[in-house]
Structure 1
Amino acid sequence: MSKFVIWTSELDSRLSKKYGRVVPRNLAVERPSIEEIEEAAKSLGFKVLQVEREKLNPKLSGIDEDLRTYGRIIIESPYGKAKTLKIIAQKIRELRRRR
């Protein structure tokens, strides 16, 4: 299993790749919360090791406050980081549709 950090900004559709978005814009979600990421990861069976709600991705230090998203989560996944992020983004979209 791979262990890695997921920043909320890596899934945020409002951000460019320069500012930390990792997934393609068509898969990304707008303003993902750390709670949504945690819920999606747990529902997919990934092990959540640590949640830090107040952390800011260093790539976001130079942009407007309204574009900043705080939080990071450390998880274990059987997949690589890119695939895990795509799966989590899809799950967040699914969870949002249910609400």
Structure 2
Amino acid sequence: MSREYRGRKTILYPAYIDSTLSRSEGRRIPSSSAVPSPSIEEIYNAAAKLGLNPVVENDKAYPGRWWVKGRVVVDKKYGKIDLLKKIAAEIKESRARKH
């Protein structure tokens, strides 16, 4: 994590909440809480709805999945696991509203 974000921001990669990935592939929350193949846009919209001031960085990649570009940087208002669960729940709600 770059020094400018340390302690004040949390970095979110789509792999953290992707239910199609295993824990060893980068998922950080239980698969029951995760969502299949989340996009950067979905993470951004969920974070914005939670009031976390998201910023998309399209040129960055999760080291374990270096070919998938993009991450979202948000304000650190919650612990990381709680934050990931809230983001995933918000994405699930938005997907349910669309269908």
Q: Identify unmatched segments of 5+ residues in structure 1.
A: 62-67
SS of residue in 2 equivalent to 1:47? coil
Q: Which position in structure 1 is the counterpart of 2:63? A: 58
State the alpha-carbon separation in 1 of the partners of residues 8 and 88 from structure 2: 18
Q: What stretches of structure 1 move > 6 A for 4+ residues in a row? A: none
Q: Identify unmatched segments of 5+ residues in structure 2.
A: 1-6
Question: Which protein has greater RCO, CA pairs closer than 8 Å, 6+ apart?
Answer: 1
After superposition, what is the alpha-carbon deviation per residue over 1:26-68, rounded to whole angstroms, capped at 9, x for unaligned? 01101100000000000111121x312243211124xxxxxx6
Q: Please give the TM-score of this superposition, normalised by the length of structure 2.
A: 0.84
Q: Please give the TM-score of this superposition, normalised by the length of structure 1.
A: 0.84
Q: Which position in structure 1 is the counterpart of 2:82? A: 83
The structure with the greater share of residues assigned to strand is 1
What's the C-alpha RMSD, in Å, of the aligned pairs?
1.7
Aligned residues: 92
Equivalent residue for 1:13, pick from 13, 19, 27: 19
Equivalent residue for 2:10, pick from 4, 13, 16: 4
% of aligned pairs identical? 40
